[in-house]
Structure 1
Amino acid sequence: MNLLLIDDDNDLARLLNRYFQRFGWELRHASAPSIAYAQLKQSQPDAIILDVMLPEEDGFSVCRKLRHDYTTPIIMLTARGEVTDRIVGLEIGADDYLPKPFEPRELAARIQSITRRHASTEKPVPLMYFRDLEINLTTQEVLVAGRPLTLTTSEFRLLQLFASAPGKVFSRDEIMNSLKGTEVELFSRAIDITVSRLRQKMKTKSKREFIKTVWGAGYRFVGEAL
């Protein structure tokens, strides 16, 4: 497995590099965002480990830029760990969140979890067509009114869940079970954050809605199958 660590802590980079070697993982280290951007143009890692506190620009800004161009799973690190930071990280597209200090084995476990989830969405299956919406479950590509979307792993899995049963009301418990192992396990509010984030990305010029809130019950997908 190839990983990219974006963190200006050289000691942490050496520690993680030694630890990951026992799994046969390769860790590249970028001590600043500009270095990371250059490395990403050369090759894509299986996952990105991104610190919040960085030189040049903060990790939230970096995450936004990365999510605009890549679907690579992102785990954010922070020395603070406040709930507000977690919410911001999830809203801008991080797949998981780990406060410092942490045990390397916990980070390794989370990396294995998010990369498995990411790989599971790539199984060859037919395209799903709806009015103004096309979902390719093989390539994880989504088009809304012909416009390509960049979704996180959790956002794509949520859309896949909804689209699998148009009209069905999914409770928060059902959504949580479906996304088990992702950031929704941190707090139930993350479900609403992920749905809201997905809705925002799926907005069309005609203001068509694909996901509606059923107050007191959950959410349902209202796309028109073709």
Structure 2
Amino acid sequence: MNKNRKQNHRTSSTSDKTGISIIRAILLAFVLCTVQTGPALAEAQMGDVTFPIQDSSAAQDSVLTGNINVELLSIALPAGGLEFTVDTLREFSLDNPGGQFEDMDLPIMNRSKVPIQVEVSQVAEVTKGDLHFEDKFSDQEKQSFQLVDQISKVGPMGTAILVLGVSGQTYSTAQEFERQAFLPGRTGSIYITEIPAEETVHLKLYGKVAPDFYGQYQFTVRPTLKISAAR
């Protein structure tokens, strides 16, 4: 009974050109964190205090002067997240790391007078509310989604490795790619790029995604983008 139902499901999916390979309406939601520059301390200056030898003490007024350098950061990027499509039948390679992703473009416009640095400071845990699966037609496979940090770990249903990079970017080794992987709970920021003053850079989502056994599914990933004045 389950076998026949499974066959009917696949036939129906193939006829509308989606199949179990297409993951639609995936939402990548960004949380933006900007870091402004703080006060800069003035250089220390030294001077002499002279007092008569017959006096046991002397007083000298001192003044500390500090200069505050304020650099206002102004950044524009799409609000409300991005929706795009993944075709898991397309090939992933280090020379074409975005081959599975369609309609994925994240422009970041630096309107500031100074260059900015873009990093991913953290990735939120993927919860049940972030996932939407098709109805199960058997108990043959469980439904789940998991972000992994190695390309070799993408294979089981619902596994994925995701990386944010500059449009057109390629990677020379798997290790270079995997160092940029989104992983909830990962410590340390992931450097993405530097954007010169008054210029725009387009970012892309790269990676490899495994399909779900039962058809299309949707997930939401929430990385925090940290934007600060470039040092």
TM-score range, shorter chain: under 0.3
| TM-score of the pair, normalised by structure 2 | 0.21
* Greater share of helix: 1
* Greater share of strand: 2
Which structure exhibits the higher relative contact order, with contacts defined as CA atoms closer than 8 Å and separated by 6 or more residues?
2
| TM-score of the pair, normalised by structure 1 | 0.21
